[in-house]
Amino acid sequence: MFAIVPPYLLSRLAATDAPHLADAAEAARATLAIPRAYLPGHERGRARLDLSVDGDALVLQGEPAPDRVVSDVRHRETLPGVRVRGEDDPPVADAAVNQAFDGLGASFDLFWDAFARRSIDGAGGTLAASVHYGDRYDNAFWNGERMVFGDGDGEVFRGFTSSISVIGHELGHGVIEHGGGLAYQGQSGALNESVADVFGALTEQHLHGQSAAEASWLIGAGIFTDAVQGVALRSMKAPGTAYDDDVLGTDPQPAHMRDFVHTSEDNGGVHINSGIPNKAFHLVATALSGSAWERAGRIWYLTVTEGTLSPTADFSAFAAATTAVAQREYGERSEEADAVRTAWNAVGVTARDESPRPARPAGVHG
């Protein structure tokens, strides 16, 4: 569970008979066949310490610091692999190790700077990652205690450590789980994926100092090779537009409840229907402008970490919860609360959309 590349995307790649993608198809089939166990995580914490002298007194000041450990699986499937870089170690020759290390740090910085959260578990726990998982493994995932990165097949997918939004997304699943969790099925599962996308996007924006208006709002930008007609796995700004490829198909994400996809695949469409709450968050963030993690992100963060949200919450319940948090934190008639209400209305979760629907070809029923 909690993998960045949806199973339906890998299934399309696995089924292709294009001669030039034979190796990629084989890699996709192998990726789908590898089981992923979910494990509870628990680690210790570290702190950044500053020493100064005040008269005769030694003053100790500290704030949480990341405690990162990156291991190399060496193309096997047994975790965690061999430890190759820790918090106090210099960069190594392996780019994937350094990218994973830096990405873990970027996620830590977002959660501490924006939400005063000490690591993924809120208690300063170690951030662990394993790189070079499997043979041409076409995915990255959070297994409950660490990030795991494949190198991709090289024909369709590149290595996954290069994307900050991917790292922030997967670690975001850990934050959601420690906050009480959202059942990974149907609408609650789509919310789980969406909130992880929110954290992934915010990690990237925070790292680069981007405003909501400046950000790309893409999840997984750069993990496709140039052979793919697409820019990322998902677009929070415009769900359904991230890729349109002869082999991978068209991005299936809806941006409105009228296009909600009913399916038994992908745990009830968790990677597909997440486009609807994704669009809602984008609307809130851009309406409030400035840095998305400051107000919009804070509302979403509090909603999933305060322990009051039901693990089986659907879109409507989540809309009500975010609205309640915005009203409590900023005021019932505040700009923030109004932005949240307006966004959920705009995507059809809390109000019927009366705008005309696009005409469908004869014989097509929706």
Answer for the pair 100, 131: CB distance below 8 angstroms, yes or no: yes
**Which residue type does 56 have?**
D
Q: What are the backbone dihedrals phi and psi of residue 45, each rounded to the nearest 5 degrees, phi first? A: -130, 165
Euclidean distance between CA atoms 241 and 357, whole angstroms:
18
Euclidean distance between CA atoms 217 and 325, whole angstroms:
23
Euclidean distance between CA atoms 197 and 192, whole angstroms:
9
Dihedral (C-alpha) 176, 179, 183, 184: value to the nearest 10 degrees? 10
Euclidean distance between CA atoms 259 and 246, whole angstroms:
23
Angle at 218 between CA 67 and CA 129, to 5 degrees: 25
Structure tokens at 223: 């993990």
Going through the chain in order, the beta strands assigned E by DSSP cover 46-54, 57-65, 68-72, 82-86, 127-131, 140-142, 147-149, 218-219, 234-235, 244-245, 249-250
The one catalytic residue among 169, 271, 282, 336: 271
Q: Tokens 């992908």 belong to which residue? A: 266
Alpha-helical runs (H) found in 161-214: 164-178, 186-208
Euclidean distance between CA atoms 215 and 198, whole angstroms:
12
The one catalytic residue among 145, 155, 170, 204: 170
- Say whether 271 is catalytic: yes
Which residues, at least 6 apart from 79, have a Cβ–Cβ distance to it below 8 Å? Answer: 71, 73, 130, 133, 143, 146, 148
Which residues, at least 6 apart from 265, have a Cβ–Cβ distance to it below 8 Å? Answer: 7, 8
Euclidean distance between CA atoms 143 and 41, whole angstroms:
9
Euclidean distance between CA atoms 296 and 190, whole angstroms:
19
Euclidean distance between CA atoms 267 and 362, whole angstroms:
32
- Name the residues annotated as catalytic: 170, 271
